[in-house]
Amino acid sequence: MGKKRFVNADGGANTKTFAELRQWRRERRSKKKDLTYRLPRVEPELDWLRANRTEPSVTFIGHSTFLVQLGGLNIVTDPVWANVMGFHRRLSPPGIAIGDLPPIDVVLLSHAHYDHLDLGSLRRLPGEFVALVPEGLDGWFRRKGFPRVRALSWWEETTVGGVEFAFVPAKHWTRRTPWDTNTSHWGGWVVRRGGDTLYFAGDSGYDAGLRAVGERYGDIRVALLPIGAYEPEWFMRDSHMSPEEAVQTFLDVGAAFFVPMHYGAFRLADDTPNEALDRLNAEWSRRGLPENRLWVMPLGKTRLWSADETTIME
């Protein structure tokens, strides 16, 4: 019996033909792009992060990697500290060196693509962490020497140290080898304790069905949403949302604050980090949304959040 192959909620697998891939590559060669822009960075508040056990916080490390602190847990999303991805070097160093992290309690994985799941980074993470992963990926973790792993299907929930974790849908696909396309699932995570709720969307194309995340887990405080790797949109839209679609997703799920991610670290598509940010800011202004609800975070920046108040850590 063959391995289970996962699909999206609409039944699609997001596979592309060789002809489509070749057309994209031809288009890419004709484009002139400025790749000199680097994300701003600040010195991380390492002493505070190591001591914090009470304040909900989120720290931007780069791409889709964040340090989230909630309920006394140190949680890392899609941990990737790799300097090279495929044939491209990392554009901006991580906001926190992996050796400077506090001990990690939980690793959240959205899916198995290499820019979200890096074996070398997992092996260097400090702490005896539990890995929460999509269905179909737990065997890979155990084979690589990580026995503390729990695999969840869409809408399943688990608890670690009093913090609740729910695996929720995304519109994407995955592959690590030519033979394992979509043999593990993909999705986002809702992390909550009491009234404090964070939504990490993982990697996703736009899907109006994601509003179900907000309907089921209302009062989302912070939404970490992808804005990069959308060009050319005819090729990418089923897998990666544009900045404008990310704003719509933010509104769909009813979050209080929007943190953009999935940009600025690796050249995965034809858009550039500054293009993604320009389009995001333009759409935010066009819709007349409050400036203080958009958190474009420098690398290394920590922001505190809770259901009662929001503090900018300077």
Residue 87 binned pLDDT confidence (cut-offs 50, 70, 90): confident
- Domain CATH number, residue 164: 3.60.15.10
Residue 12, domain member (yes or no): no
Residue 142, domain member (yes or no): yes
The SS3 call for residue 216 is: helix
- Please give the Cα distance from 237 to 162 (Å, whole number): 37
Q: Tell me the mean pLDDT in the region 186-210.
A: 96
> Dihedral of the CA atoms 13, 280, 95, 200 (nearest 10)?
-40
Residue 188, domain member (yes or no): yes
Residue 307 binned pLDDT confidence (cut-offs 50, 70, 90): confident
Residue 34 binned pLDDT confidence (cut-offs 50, 70, 90): confident
Residue 2 binned pLDDT confidence (cut-offs 50, 70, 90): low
Q: What are the tens digits of pLDDT across the range 120-170?
A: 999 999 999 999 999 999 999 999 999 999 999 999 999 999 999 999 999
Q: Where are the alpha helices (DSSP H) in the chain?
A: 18-29, 46-51, 119-124, 138-143, 211-216, 233-236, 243-253, 273-286
Residue 211, domain member (yes or no): yes
- Give the full edge-to-edge strand order of the sheet including 157-160: 157-160, 163-168, 188-193, 196-200, 222-226, 257-261
Cβ(271)–Cβ(308) below 8 Å:
no
Q: Would the pLDDT of 309 be above 60?
A: no
Residue 135, domain member (yes or no): yes
Q: What integer pLDDT is reported at residue 198 of this predicted model?
A: 98
Range of the domain at 110: 45-306
Cβ(252)–Cβ(225) below 8 Å:
no
Ranking 1-5, 30-34, 83-87 by mean pLDDT, the lowest is 1-5
The SS3 call for residue 11 is: coil
Residue 225, domain member (yes or no): yes
Number of domains in the chain: 1
- Please give the Cα distance from 134 to 182 (Å, whole number): 11
Residue in this structure with the two tokens 């608890």, named with its chain if needed:
159
Residue 17, domain member (yes or no): no
Q: Tell me the mean pLDDT in the region 209-216.
A: 96
Read off the tokens for 52: 């914090």
* 84-85 and 73-77 strand pairing: unpaired
Q: What are the tens digits of pLDDT across the range 231-275?
A: 999 999 999 999 999 999 999 999 999 999 999 999 999 999 999
Residue 202, domain member (yes or no): yes
What angle (nearest 5°) sits at the alpha carbon of residue 121, between those of residues 112 and 302? Answer: 100
